[in-house]
Amino acid sequence: MAFVAATKNKVRGSQGQFPLTQNVTVVEGGTANLTCRVDQNDNTSLQWSNPAQQTLYFDDKKALRDNRIELVRASWHELSISVSDVSLSDEGQYTCSLFTMPVKTSKAFLTVLGVPEKPQITGFTSPVMEGERMQLTCKTSGSKPAADIRWFKNDKEVKDVKYLKEEDANRKTFTVSSTLDFLADRNDDGAVVSCRVDHESLNSTPQIAMQVLEIHYTPLVKIISSNSWPEEGQSIILTCESKGKPVPEPVLWTKDGGELPDPERMVVNGRVLSISFLNKTDNGTYRCEAKNPIGRNSTEYVLIVHDVFNTLLPTTVIPSLTTATVTTTVALTTSTTTSATANSTRDPNALAGQTGPDHALIGGIVAVVVFVTLCSIILLGRYLARHKGTYLTNEAKGAEDAPDADTAIINAEGSQVNAEEKKEYFI
């Protein structure tokens, strides 16, 4: 494969007689075509010679015994030859001569590109433990000029790498190496690390070496609950998801640091823990533990079983604050307090299972009752203040000594002055 340079080389001369040549670039092992043209020629001979000034062709006559060199075309206006299986030693300046008086010449430089060898990745040992430092080296030799090496991880280029270029023993080609340095992470497990060699001789088709990473790491554990608000009498399923490499062994379930207390209701099936007919005794911390040859890990889930009554309580106290509602609320509060006391007597852990929102609800109910009671007292006091009255006793009216009603009225009118001393008030 040859690449013809755009620059034309010519030697100026009189009467328009001068040879024209072009620089040529060819990949090692390819074929180079050297052409010398003359626009005006009065039957003057043309000649090609190599960098060692050895004549290759004089017109159509071959002068050097080299089977790689062949005549392509010979005429008064053109002399073209080809050099096959080009090697790095063929590189140099070739001369086309036009035998006029004086002799006119034109130079064509032949550039030979050294093709880099297929790259290789070294330094990888399988498997690698998470947290260990990895140093992968990509190396290629025989490139001319020096090749470029780029690293990729899952098709994403990695920039922070080391690059080293060394000249080969022939002092013409180069050996290039690049080192990728990083800490092994569980996210890198299964990742494809590739080393890409770019060079102009590869005709836009880079050479690539790949390595699949295998990272071993401790399990990652997570518990997923099937019920976000478990209540008494319901069921709950706790699933322990564990991911690790190697694959973790079957998980271990515990409650409050010990074995599951009720195997009949608490059934373990692989990674799943099922608890049926929930009650307050099920409150506690459930732990799921997974392990593999690298290590072990665990996570916890705090189970709080709620009363069904607590779920219905907020809808009971929503109606308007009438006397009947307040009475019902007080009764419910008393019932709740009694129930909580009874539960705490039966199970010391029952109170520990109560949540913050239940206490807040009870406190709110008590506040409403106190508020309504104070309002009722204030309204009653204002009513009595507005309807305060007086009356006269029989003694003040003089009705005891009156023989009849008319006399009692007359005596009462005459006794208005003394009646002030015998007034009685409603309080």
Helix H, strand E, coil C: the string for 142-181 is: EEECCCEEEEEECCEEECCCEEEEEECCCCCCEEEEEEEE
Angle, nearest 10°, between helix axes 308-316 and 323-346? 170
Task: Give residue 41's pLDDT band: very low, low, confident or very high (50, 70, 90).
Answer: confident
Q: Is-contact 81 32, C-beta < 8 A?
A: no
Task: Give residue 16's pLDDT band: very low, low, confident or very high (50, 70, 90).
Answer: low
Average pLDDT over residues 137-155: 96
Helix, strand, coil content of the chain in percent (nearest 5)? 25, 40, 35
Average pLDDT over residues 200-216: 93
Longest dimension (CA), the chain: 182
Looking at residue 380, its amino acid is: L
Residue 85 backbone zone (phi > 0: left; psi -120 to 50: alpha; other: beta) = left
Q: In whole angstroms, give the CA distance from residue 263 to residue 268.
A: 8
Q: Is-contact 36 17, C-beta < 8 A?
A: no
DSSP 281: G
- Computed from CA positions of residues 273, 254, 357, 361, in that sequence, does the dihedral angle turn out positive or negative? positive
pLDDT digits (tens, 9 = 90+) for 237-254: 999 999 999 999 889 999
pTM attached to this predicted model: 0.62
Task: Give residue 204's pLDDT band: very low, low, confident or very high (50, 70, 90).
Answer: confident
Checking if the pLDDT of 299 tops 60, the result is yes
- Looking at residue 356, its pLDDT comes to 45
DSSP 306: B
Task: Give residue 417's pLDDT band: very low, low, confident or very high (50, 70, 90).
Answer: very low
First CA to last CA distance, the chain: 123
